[in-house]
Amino acid sequence: MNVIIDGYNMIFGVPELGANIDQCDTEILRNRLLSLLEQYKEKRRHELTVVFDGNFGASSTTSVSGIDVVFPRTGLDADEEIKSLVSSSKNPRHLMVVTGDRSIRQFVRKYGSKVVGPMEFFKAMQRKIDRFPQSGQGNSNKIRDGKEPMSKIMGPSKTESQYWLKVFSEVKGKGVDD
């Protein structure tokens, strides 16, 4: 199955992903989502495409750990890009679109694609990723009671770790204890 994810809709539709958004820039939030999707992809082997709104001129598609990341060209938003991906699909019945946006949901259903809300998909990811306890088991209340941010429970993602290693390796002439 191919899964198309409305990136920012998912980030801001799931409190665990967009928690403390005042303190995080969008790159960190995107990396957090991509890290979770990377773990999910290892378990499910779905083809994943995440579409983010962006204003980068030309359309941009990159691959991060086997996940296609799409930033639509100037003048298009993520909604239009997702609709284009669905309408141009050779077999839209094998697509699942993750979004809470009503207009996308209605459009996608016309093509016979499955539509899932961000929280529903996030919970499905939780069940597949071993790092998240299931409800009713052990410390699951500790995660869900809101006392600890999800980023602290999960630790940094591989992408975030690489980013910070790059930042700190650029500081020359300073020791670890400086």
Of residues 26, 22, 5, the one with CA closest to residue 119: 5
Residues pairing with 69 in the sheet: 50, 62
Question: Hey, what's the torsion of the CAs at 21, 26, 28, 30, to 10 degrees?
Answer: 110
Mean of pLDDT values over 118-125: 93
Domains and CATH numbers, the chain: 2-169 (3.40.50)
Query: Can you tell me which residue has the tokens 């016979």?
Result: 112
Best-predicted range by mean pLDDT (18-32, 55-69, 114-128): 114-128
Among the ranges given (19-23, 43-47, 133-137, 171-175), the one the predictor scored with the smallest mean pLDDT: 133-137
Whole-structure pTM value = 0.70
Identity of the amino acid at 36: L
